[in-house]
Amino acid sequence: MTSLLSGFNMADTLICGIDIGSSKIATVVGVKSEETGEVKIIGFNTTLARGIRKGLIVDIKEVTDVVEESVEKAERMAGHKISQAFVSVGGPHISSLNSHGIVAVSNPQGEISESDVGRVIEAARAISLSTTRQIIEVIPRDFIVDGQPGIRSPIGMSGVRLEVETHIITASSTNLKNIDRVLDDLGIENQGFVFSGLASAEAVLTNTEKELGVVLVDVGGGKIDLTMFVEGALSYSSSIPIGARHITNDIAVGLRISLDSAEKIKVFLSKNLNNKKKNPQINLNELNLEENINEVSLKTLVDGIIAPRLEEIFKLVFEEIEKSDFSQLVPSGMVITGGGALTVGMLETGKRVVGLPVRIGIPDKVTGLVDETVDPQYASTIGLLLYGLKNIMTEENAGFKNFGKVLRDFKLGGSMGRVKDFFKQFIP
């Protein structure tokens, strides 16, 4: 296929992301401009998900069908075939730990080389892991040279002992294998699994927030992904098995209506309540609900049904933040993404229950066909592109040459130096 888009230069690199969510599968095709280094979206599609629960594949055939549908539509829009993509993975099967590595610097003159850095990260990732788990991310948080911490890029420095603090994210290998099977079936090469909470962070957090300390909370349909950045570095990742779909369920049960109608009311509220004078009765005429409900009491719906669930959600988020041991180190507060971010009362409840400042994160760091994607529910989708931009391995930069770049990113962007499996190739 050739590009339908004028101005697309063949030297530019195509970056694709497939965001496999519990509510939707979103595919995005972007182009990295060699001139500006920016990503421009040239293709996008979102399709209702089937066969996914809380981030886990429960019906592989259904998932393959929807991913195929979404990919084909995005390909058609972009005028490009998707042969490789970064893929999101999230849900309660995700866990994280911080691991320490230590090596003796190999050069007798004590100059730290790329290979020492590779070895020390390898040492940090040598954690004991059950056969059912797999590492998907190893991020250096800090290097320590001869006992001195706070070193961002040790290559070329003098020292005899090199240590590293890393953040490691692991996932269920069964789920990863299932995702790979879906991609294999569609002839798409997986360029890397990206924790969806990290992808969302890429899309909406500022460097200042990461440096000061911040919590990213992605409230999806079936689960909440959480990442915490402390002193610029990713320091905690986890996922809570509850999502915005629970709010829809509560409305359906509370008002004795179908899930479809409940979803419509929920979305209608978030779009209409904030900018209108608050009447005690909400007029639902324009929704044409099958149950013929024309109005509902605001108090029943918002205070009685939605608020208690939000309260529960934020209590769980609070517990997770406490569990991280970094709860005192995130003065920038919480940034909320995911479709659930738009729920009525999200900001107020979050602020009250967790006791931190809160803002909604909108993915607006890319250009091109962005009308649809400037919405918190596509933070993780757009994040896949931005993550890809930093980590893409072309033939020229694969291997150790890319290593310098990894460390540069680490230095510039704070924590985002990703150390991929490719280190394995160089380390016996």
| Residues in binding contact with ligand ATP, number by CB under 6 A | 27
- Determine the interface stretch with ligand ATP among 139-147, 165-173, 239-247, 289-297 (rule: CB under 6 A): 239-247
Q: How far is the CB of 375 from ligand ATP (least distance, A)?
A: 8
Say how far apart CA 151 and CA 417 lie, in whole Å: 14
Residue of 17, 21, 101, 350 interacting with ligand ATP (CB under 6 A): 21
Residues pairing with 224 in the sheet:
219, 240
- Within 10 A of 291 (CB to CB), how many other CB atoms are there? 12
Q: How far is the CB of 161 from ligand ATP (least distance, A)?
A: 42
Contact by Cβ (8 Å): 161, 105:
yes
Binding partner of residue 342 among Mg ion, ligand ATP, none, CB under 5 to 8 Å per kind? ligand ATP
Q: Please spell the DSSP secondary structure of 261-329, one letter per residue.
A: HHHHHHHHHHHHSTTS---SEEE-GGG--TT---EEEHIIIIIIIIHHHHHHHHHHHHHHHHHTT-GGG
Q: How far is the CB of 200 from ligand ATP (least distance, A)?
A: 9
| Residue 21 interacts with Mg ion (CB under 5 A): yes or no | yes
Looking at residue 422, what DSSP letter applies?
G
Nearer to Mg ion, 21 or 51 (CB): 21
- Determine the interface stretch with ligand ATP among 18-26, 121-129, 352-360, 412-420 (rule: CB under 6 A): 18-26
Nearer to ligand ATP, 248 or 391 (CB): 248
Q: Distance of CA 218 to CAs 96, 257, 270, Å?
A: 17, 27, 17
Nearer to ligand ATP, 47 or 402 (CB): 47
Q: How far is the CB of 25 from ligand ATP (least distance, A)?
A: 8
Residue of 92, 101, 159, 338 interacting with ligand ATP (CB under 6 A): 338
Say how far apart CA 196 and CA 289 lie, in whole Å: 34
Nearer to Mg ion, 71 or 162 (CB): 71
> Which H or E run contains 334?
strand 334-337
Q: Taking CB under 6 A as the rule, which mask of x and - marks residues 388-427 in contact with ligand ATP? A: ----------------------------------------
Say how far apart CA 17 and CA 194 lie, in whole Å: 10
According to CB under 5 A, which residues from 355 to 384 bind Mg ion?
A: 380
Binding partner of residue 244 among ligand ATP, Mg ion, none, CB under 5 to 8 Å per kind? ligand ATP
Nearer to Mg ion, 117 or 182 (CB): 182
The structure tokens listed for 160 are 């005899």
Phi, psi of 317 (to 5 degrees): -60, -45
Q: How far is the CB of 21 from Mg ion (least distance, A)?
A: 4
| Residue 22 interacts with ligand ATP (CB under 6 A): yes or no | yes
| Residue 23 interacts with ligand ATP (CB under 6 A): yes or no | yes
Contact by Cβ (8 Å): 42, 33:
no
* CB-neighbour burial class of residue 23 (10 A; exposed 0-12, middle 13-18, buried 19+): buried
Residues pairing with 98 in the sheet:
167
Q: Taking CB under 6 A as the rule, which mask of x and - marks residues 54-93 in contact with ligand ATP? A: -x----------------------------------x---
Residue of 244, 262, 335, 386 interacting with ligand ATP (CB under 6 A): 244
| Residue 222 interacts with Mg ion (CB under 5 A): yes or no | no
Could you write out the three-class secondary structure of 206-226? Answer: CHHHHHHCEEEEEECCCCEEE
According to CB under 6 A, which residues from 36 to 55 bind ligand ATP?
A: 49, 55
| Residue 220 interacts with Mg ion (CB under 5 A): yes or no | yes
Residue of 223, 264, 309, 418 interacting with ligand ATP (CB under 6 A): 223
Say how far apart CA 73 and CA 44 lie, in whole Å: 8
- CB burial of 386-398 (b: ≥16 within 10 Å; e: otherwise) equals bbbbebbeeeeee
Nearer to Mg ion, 21 or 361 (CB): 21
Q: Taking CB under 6 A as the rule, which mask of x and - marks residues 350-379 in contact with ligand ATP? A: ---------------------------x--
Q: How far is the CB of 187 from Mg ion (least distance, A)?
A: 24
Contact by Cβ (8 Å): 212, 332:
yes
Contact by Cβ (8 Å): 370, 41:
yes
The structure tokens listed for 64 are 């393959």
Q: Which residue has the tokens 């879906």?
A: 182
Residue type, 22: S
* Residue ranges that bind ligand ATP, judged by CB under 6 A: 21-24, 49, 55, 90, 196, 220-223, 243-245, 248, 263, 266-267, 270-271, 338-340, 342-343, 377
